[in-house]
Amino acid sequence: MKERIHKDIVIIGAGMAGLTAALYCGRMNLDTLVLENGLVGGQIANAVAIENFPGFVSVSGGELIATVQKQAESFGAVIDEFDEIERVTLKATPKIIETQEKIYEADAVIIATGMNRRKLPLPEEKKFSGRGVHYCELCDGHAYDGKIIAVAGGGNAAVDAANFLTKYATKLYLIHRSELRADDFSQRRMRANDKITVMLQTDIKALRGDKKLEAVEVFDKTTGETKTLAVDGIFVNIGVEPNTKLFRDELTLSASGRIIAGEDCRTEIDGVFAAGDVREKEIRQLTTAASDGTTAALLAEKFLAKLKG
């Protein structure tokens, strides 16, 4: 039989949003548990250099996250890695989170499970990740001032990224395997931008370079031609997968699969909050994840205070 353990608050996910929430909850003397099904850190764990987190001129993702983890643990939050959650019952009082090993009863829950970005299905992707292959134009675009880059993808995210990145790039290839799905407005803006060359029905076959990306090899499915494009970087925008499978039966999800909650991070279930990239919102950055973690923790504390009278 699994051990049953009561907690004031369970935070699901130990990325920037979850760890910030843990830091605040710990400092408010709440009995706080963070459940993480992988390694602490989330999307940022392996980022080489972060230059837009206030207080740091440049910091690696690993160092930034280790600092926030240390802060959270110093205030008593417990972080449990690798105990996979099997099911949750969020509408119950208390809320139930059942893992492979234990059953947790929590008075409040913060969901901070983030998302995964779809990667290019090429074996060299790993070698060049952060060294020419990027997934976030707002995060890494600035490093490509005066350079030649590519964007992979054909939806709104890719086309908007291409438009945005011409702030920096002198030339940009938008490469997509089929036809564009982006809305008319974004497509018109892109077509009017003479820095952008649109390459449709084109597959990316290989990434080339020594220590960093130097070129992409593409195959034009219409002409049957293979070309090598010299680029300094490629931004991959071929879709994201929000980590919300566990919550599908309990919470309303948006069309993109994220949890619907307002800027106050409150979901439709009392005492359940959604923070960070898992929440449906427009801007997904480390600062907004930290902001959500703060909001969710402070409002969860208010909820708990009311609950306990």
Ligand X SMILES: Cc1cc2nc3c(=O)[nH]c(=O)nc-3n(C[C@H](O)[C@H](O)[C@H](O)COP(=O)(O)OP(=O)(O)OC[C@H]3O[C@@H](n4cnc5c(N)ncnc54)[C@H](O)[C@@H]3O)c2cc1C
Name the residues that contact ligand X, by CB under 6 A: 12-18, 35-38, 41-44, 47, 50, 52, 85, 112-115, 117, 135-136, 139, 243, 246, 276-277, 284-287, 289
Contact present, 42 and 66 (Cβ < 8 Å): no
Q: Which is nearer to ligand X, 34 or 180 (CB)?
A: 34
Q: Which of 25, 139, 265, 277 is catalytic?
A: 139
Q: Which is nearer to ligand X, 133 or 229 (CB)?
A: 133
Question: Minimum Å distance from CB 75 to ligand X?
Answer: 18
Contact present, 207 and 216 (Cβ < 8 Å): yes
Question: Minimum Å distance from CB 141 to ligand X?
Answer: 10
For 161-212, list the strands marked E by DSSP: 171-175, 196-199, 202-209
Tell me if residue 210 falls in helix, strand or coil: coil
Q: Which is nearer to ligand X, 55 or 224 (CB)?
A: 55
Q: Which of 8, 140, 160, 277 is catalytic?
A: 140
Cα dist from 136 to 106, 111, 228, 253, whole Å: 35, 22, 24, 23
| 139 tagged catalytic | yes
The first and second tokens of residue 11, run together, are: 């935070």
Question: Minimum Å distance from CB 152 to ligand X?
Answer: 14
Residue 236 zone, left/alpha/beta (φ > 0; ψ -120 to 50; rest): beta
Question: Minimum Å distance from CB 307 to ligand X?
Answer: 24
- Beta partners for 207? 216
Question: Minimum Å distance from CB 14 to ligand X?
Answer: 5
Q: Which is nearer to ligand X, 128 or 135 (CB)?
A: 135
Q: Which is nearer to ligand X, 69 or 202 (CB)?
A: 69
Q: Which of 136, 160, 232, 292 is catalytic?
A: 136
Count of all residues that appear for the chain in the document: 309
CA nearest neighbour of 240 among 135, 123, 92, 87: 135
Q: Nearest 10 degrees: CA dihedral of 241, 247, 251, 253?
A: 10
Catalytic positions, written as ranges? 136, 139-140
